[in-house]
């Protein structure tokens, strides 16, 4: 059978490896951390830096196709891997989503709504942005931000100078504040033959910048639901994408605004493990392995809750709950803010 190479051995890589195993496929993880959660459940773990070209070259010889669980893969690593084996999702998808400026430009080019944005490299750019976009706004690093890290709220123009100084010279993007009523995301998949399947949009609540819960069904009208799914399909098609993508959306009275896209399985898609016959992890493996996609139909209402830091210690209580599926990622240390696991609670019709 074939072997799927997965760059990154965190919880997403782990759940991808478990899904692959169920389909009779082998997985080879590449991650610098010998204790990577995916290493415990995969066929092999190569422990080396993403900048170690020799390690990358030997590893890629052992796999048939390469995929990944995070978007910040160094370009040099991609050059090495791509010359040896197919990479799904493709380079274009990575390039677009690694940089918030490229991402926003790509989305608006497609005709999709985003927050008003401007590139910020210095105080001159900032002055211009304050003038054109105004406040409130958010200043974000263009690259490497996640869980709300590398972001500063600019409530009034006076906040701008300090916010820029806090970027420590990192290229940044200024985003006008979107007045949304709530946040939803679409987990969408595209196969090698171009077929697209979307899961039902989920409604997301963040606490301290980290996803706390995803609830399906989301609070959306039929039209909003259709819009969400269609725009996700447009993004995948334009990229010639193969695999699963997470598309984060703001719901506003004026329509859906795209916040960001993630070229991988997504935390807000974990509910699919309890709500669908084929979950997002199996869907991604099917796509990159060239299988037909499963359909995304939802058969239950679900609330997914992340177990962050010490939350994970409540598992003995959670294990007593009815209709509750527990996922623990096998991470030794429950550091503050660290994603340790999640639960999917199936809501039964009364
Ligand atoms: P993730 O962990 O999802 O990758 P991230 O660090 O990339 O998060 P964003 O998704 O860009 O950050 O922003 C985090 C949260 O901040 C959003 O989910 C939303 O609640 C809020 N936010 C971000 N941008 C805006 C905006 N332009 N207007 C209003 N709220 C925003
Ligand atoms: Mg993000
Ligand atoms: Mg986000």
Give pLDDT tens digits for 8-42.
Answer: 999 999 999 999 999 999 999 999 999 999 999 99
39 is in an annotated binding site: no
260 is in an annotated binding site: yes
Which residues does 206 contact at the CB level (< 8 Å), separation at least 6? 148, 183, 212
Q: Which of 260, 263, 268 is nearest to 114 (CA)?
A: 260
Does the reported pTM lie above 0.95?
Answer: yes
Q: In what order do the strands lie in the sheet with 137-141?
A: 117-120, 172-176, 137-141, 151-154
Establish whether this prediction's ipTM goes over 0.95. Answer: yes
- Strand extents, DSSP E, 113-242: 117-120, 137-141, 151-154, 172-176, 182-190, 196-198, 202-207, 210-216
Q: How many CB atoms lie within 10 A of CB 57?
A: 13
Residues with CB under 5 A from ligand 3 (ion): 248
> Using a 6 Å cutoff on CB, does residue 146 contact ligand 1?
yes
Pocket test for ligand 1, best of 141, 202, 259 (most atoms within 8 A of CB): 259
Say how far residue 323 (Cα) sits from the centre of its chain.
Answer: 26
Confidence at 234, pLDDT banded by 50, 70, 90: very high
Q: How far is the CA of 42 from the centre of ligand 1 (A)?
A: 32
Q: How far is the CA of 57 from the centre of ligand 2 (A)?
A: 29
Task: For each of the domains in the chain, give its residue range(s) and CATH number, in order of start.
Answer: 3-87 (3.40.50.20), 116-176 (3.30.1490.20), 182-347 (3.30.470.20)
Q: In which element (H, E) is residue 232 found?
A: helix 222-239
Are 68 and 8 spatial neighbours (Cβ–Cβ below 8 Å)? yes
Q: How far is the CA of 62 from the centre of ligand 2 (A)?
A: 31
111 is in an annotated binding site: no
The predicted structure's pLDDT at residue 296 = 87
The predicted structure's pLDDT at residue 137 = 97
Nearest ligand 1 atom to alpha carbon 175:
27
Q: In which element (H, E) is residue 305 found?
A: strand 301-308
């Amino acid at each position: 059978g074939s072997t799927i190479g997965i760059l990154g051995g965190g919880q997403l890589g782990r759940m991808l490896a478990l899904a692959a195993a169920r389909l009779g496929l082998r997985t080879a993880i590449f991650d610098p951390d010998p204790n990577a959660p995916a290493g415990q459940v995969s066929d092999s773990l190569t422990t080396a830096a993403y900048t170690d070209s020799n390690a990358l070259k030997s590893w890629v010889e052992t796999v048939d196709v390469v995929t990944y669980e995070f978007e910040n893969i160094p370009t040099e690593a991609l050059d090495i891997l791509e010359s040896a084996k197919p990479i799904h999702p493709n380079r274009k998808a990575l390039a677009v989503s690694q940089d918030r400026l490229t991402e926003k430009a790509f989305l608006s080019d497609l005709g999709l709504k985003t927050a008003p944005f401007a590139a910020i490299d210095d105080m001159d750019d900032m002055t211009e942005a304050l003038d054109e976009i105004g406040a409130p706004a958010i200043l974000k690093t263009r690259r490497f931000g996640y869980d709300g890290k590398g972001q500063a709220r600019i409530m009034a123009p006076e906040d701008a100078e300090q916010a820029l100084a806090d970027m420590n010279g990192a290229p940044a993007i200024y985003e006008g504040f979107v007045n949304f009523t709530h946040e939803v995301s679409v987990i969408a998949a595209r196969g090698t033959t171009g077929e697209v399947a979307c899961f039902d949009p989920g409604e997301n609540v963040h606490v301290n910048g980290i996803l706390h819960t995803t609830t399906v069904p989301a609070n959306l009208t039929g039209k909003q639901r259709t819009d969400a799914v269609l725009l996700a399909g447009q993004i995948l098609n334009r990229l010639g994408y193969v695999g699963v993508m997470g598309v984060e959306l703001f719901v506003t009275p004026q329509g859906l605004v795209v916040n960001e896209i993630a070229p991988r399985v997504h935390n807000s898609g974990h509910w699919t493990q309890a709500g669908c016959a084929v979950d997002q992890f199996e869907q991604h493996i099917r796509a990159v392995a060239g299988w037909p996609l499963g359909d995304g139909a939802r058969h239950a209402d679900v609330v997914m809750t992340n177990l962050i830091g010490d939350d994970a210690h409540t598992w003995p209580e959670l294990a007593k709950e009815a209709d509750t599926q527990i996922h623990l990622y096998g991470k030794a240390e429950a550091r503050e803010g660290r994603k340790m696991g999640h639960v999917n609670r199936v809501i039964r019709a009364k």
